[in-house]
């Protein structure tokens, strides 16, 4: 068995691509639109996985944008995506500066949670050892749920 991708449904493709590509730094690997099916699929990979994604088509996120409006909640959602990051503090600072709420701040220098524009939970995990606790993160309260 081999992991291929995780599919998430999105309500605004441009907003979601801004979140994943511009803010998180992911790369668009491929895009397919179906006039008959009335959808667009966009596959993304992290910079570290870009080569594997292009060569082996794994591991990726599949963004599914259905052209006809639909609300996604309840049973059509799931737990979370998780990514290992080089500097959890720097990434959280950049995300916050761009209007992203840090739902679970990286108080421990190891783990944080954020949400996509479609409210999909994303876990960020520090690569290697946890960074030493640092303000403002160490004393920051949780916001909402993740």
pLDDT (tens digit, 9 = 90+) per residue, 27-83? 999 999 999 999 999 999 999 999 999 998 889 999 989 999 877 665 555 668 889
pLDDT at 82: 85
Higher-scoring residue by pLDDT: 25, 76: 25
The first and second tokens of residue 4, run together, are 């291929």
Prediction pTM value: 0.79
Do residues 120 and 81 touch, judged by C-beta distance below 8 A?
yes
CA dihedral 15, 20, 23, 27 (to 10 degrees): -120
Number of domains in the chain: 2
Do residues 53 and 29 touch, judged by C-beta distance below 8 A?
yes
Residue 145 inside a domain? The answer is no
Query: Is the bond preceding residue 59 a cis peptide, omega within 30 degrees?
Result: yes
Residue 144 inside a domain? The answer is no
Give the phi and the psi of residue 34 in degrees, each rounded to 5: -125, 110
Higher-scoring residue by pLDDT: 58, 91: 91
Q: What percent of the chain has pLDDT over 90?
A: 74
Both 62 and 84 in a single domain?
A: no
Both 44 and 92 in a single domain?
A: no
Q: Which residue has the tokens 């960074």?
A: 131
Domain that holds residue 88: 77-139
When pLDDT is averaged across residues 80-95 and rounded to a whole number, the result is 94
* Alpha helices, DSSP H, located in the chain: 13-17, 50-56, 88-97
Tell me: the pLDDT tens digits for 100-127?
Answer: 999 999 999 999 999 999 888 899 999 9
pLDDT at 89: 98
pLDDT at 3: 78
pLDDT at 146: 78
Both 18 and 56 in a single domain?
A: yes
**Among all residues, which ones are annotated catalytic?**
123
Helix (H, G, I), strand (E, B) or coil at 50: helix
- CATH number where 32 lies: 3.10.180.10
- pLDDT band, very low/low/confident/very high, at 14 (cuts 50, 70, 90): very high
Distances (CA, A) of 62 to 32, 59, 109, 135, 140: 11, 10, 29, 35, 32
Both 59 and 109 in a single domain?
A: no
């Amino acid at each position: 068995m081999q992991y291929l991708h995780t599919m998430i449904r999105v309500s605004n493709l441009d907003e979601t691509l801004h979140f994943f590509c511009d803010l998180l730094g992911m790369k668009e690997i491929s895009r397919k639109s179906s006039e008959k099916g009335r959808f667009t699929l966009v596959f993304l990979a992290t910079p570290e996985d870009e080569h594997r994604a292009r060569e082996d088509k794994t591991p990726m996120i599949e963004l599914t944008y259905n052209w006809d409006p639909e609300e996604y909640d309840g049973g059509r959602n799931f737990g979370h995506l998780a990514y290992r990051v080089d500097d959890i503090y720097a990434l959280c600072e950049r995300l916050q500066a761009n209007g992203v709420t840090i739902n679970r701040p990286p108080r421990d220098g190891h783990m944080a949670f954020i949400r996509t524009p479609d409210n999909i939970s994303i876990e960020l995990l520090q690569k290697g050892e946890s960074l030493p606790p640092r303000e403002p993160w160490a004393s920051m309260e949780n916001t909402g749920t993740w």
